[in-house]
Amino acid sequence: MRIEVKGLTKSYDGKSVLNALDLVLGDVKVIGIIGGSGCGKSTLLRQLTGIETPESGSVKINGIELNSENLKAYQKRIGVVFQKHNLFPHLTVEENITLILRKTIGMSRSEAEVRCSQVLTEFQLSDQRNKIPSKISGGQAQRASIARAVATEPDLIFLDEPTAALDPILTKEVLNSIQLLKSDGAEFIFVTHEMDFLRKFADYFIFMDEGSIIEHGVIEKLETPDTKRLKIFVRR
């Protein structure tokens, strides 16, 4: 993917959360965004997905500027996984996926069912397909939400701390699903505050602190940070 962020600024209630971020990246497959709690990682991710609009500045991804004109087409080509699974609670796992396929991508019911079966098999959820989210484990629900994001065959997937709400055992299932994305060659951007998670999946890291990008680089660079703040963060 190619990312061009220019002067990206966002504040909530007058408090600046992203301070005029600039970032140009070409040709990376998996990006991990790290940083302490409240430093603006989720806010940056929401900007990159177009879920929220910037106060000023611009975001261009794979050459597409995220503005009101392009947003719909862009968002059709991405998948987003949130910290909570965000499945629709009244729909079964299968319906959660087929609804999106039919209404967003415009697949027929039978096409959607075929595609849904594929992803459910891939994420080992076939036997949970007819259950609603409250009847499956948190790990299964999070995997289902990854399956939903992947089902539309997006060019790019965003994941915001997909394991933060889970215990270690359930986390492992979800990490396996993310491993699956990686081996499929999917391009994705994820937020985490765990270094293991980052090292395992990312080719490239972005380190944030207090609403600014302090350092970014290929993953090997983590061993020899330029900045003191990253040095401290890595050593924790």
Partner 1 sequence: MINILDRIQKTAAYLILISLFVVILLTATDNLRYDLILSEGRLLFDAMITTLWISLVTLILSMVFGFIFFLAMRSQIVFLKTLSNGMKEIVMGTPLLVMIFLVVYVFGIKAGIHSKLSLGILAMTAYMAPYIANAYETASAVIDEDQYTVMDLYHFNLFQRYRYIILPQMIRPLIPSMLNNLSSIIKGSALLKIVSISEVSYVITVISNRSYASIEGYLVMWVMYLIITIPLSLLSAYLGRRFSHAN
Answer yes or no whether residue 134 interacts with ligand ATP by CB under 6 A.
no
82: which 2 tokens? 């949130």
- Core vs surface per residue 75-107: b (16+ CB within 10 A) or e: beebbbbbbebbbeeeebbbbbbbebbbeeeeb
- Core vs surface per residue 137-163: b (16+ CB within 10 A) or e: ebbbbbbbbbbbbbbbebebbbbbbbb
Q: Per CB under 6 A, which of residues 162..221 are in contact with ligand ATP?
A: 193
Our CB check for Mg ion shows the closer of 184 and 196 to be: 196
Our CB check for partner 1 shows the closer of 72 and 231 to be: 72
Please choose, out of 22-30, 80-88, 180-188, 218-226, the segment that lies near partner 1 by the rule CB under 8 A: 80-88
Answer yes or no whether residue 82 interacts with partner 1 by CB under 8 A.
yes
Instruction: Tell me the number of residues near partner 1 by CB under 8 A.
Output: 17
Query: C-beta of 23: minimal distance to ligand ATP in Å?
Result: 16
Chain centroid to CA 58: how far?
A: 19
d(CA 25, CA 206): 11
Query: C-beta of 85: minimal distance to ligand ATP in Å?
Result: 16
- Core vs surface per residue 179-213: b (16+ CB within 10 A) or e: ebbbeeebbbbbbbbebebbeebbebbbbbbebbb
For residues 234 and 221, the answer to whether their CB atoms sit within 8 Å is no
Answer yes or no whether residue 223 interacts with ligand ATP by CB under 6 A.
no
- The single residue among 42, 75, 117, 124 that binds ligand ATP, judged by CB under 6 A, is 42
- The single residue among 84, 131, 182, 193 that binds partner 1, judged by CB under 8 A, is 84
Answer yes or no whether residue 115 interacts with ligand ATP by CB under 6 A.
no
Please state at what angle helix 138-151 crosses helix 93-100, rounded to 10 degrees: 20
Answer yes or no whether residue 135 interacts with partner 1 by CB under 8 A.
no
Our CB check for ligand ATP shows the closer of 40 and 139 to be: 40
Q: Per CB under 8 A, which of residues 93..132 are in contact with partner 1?
A: 99-100, 103-104
SS3 call for 148 = helix
- Footprint on this chain of partner 1 (rule: CB under 8 A): 49, 51, 72, 75-76, 80, 82, 84, 86, 88-90, 99-100, 103-104, 134
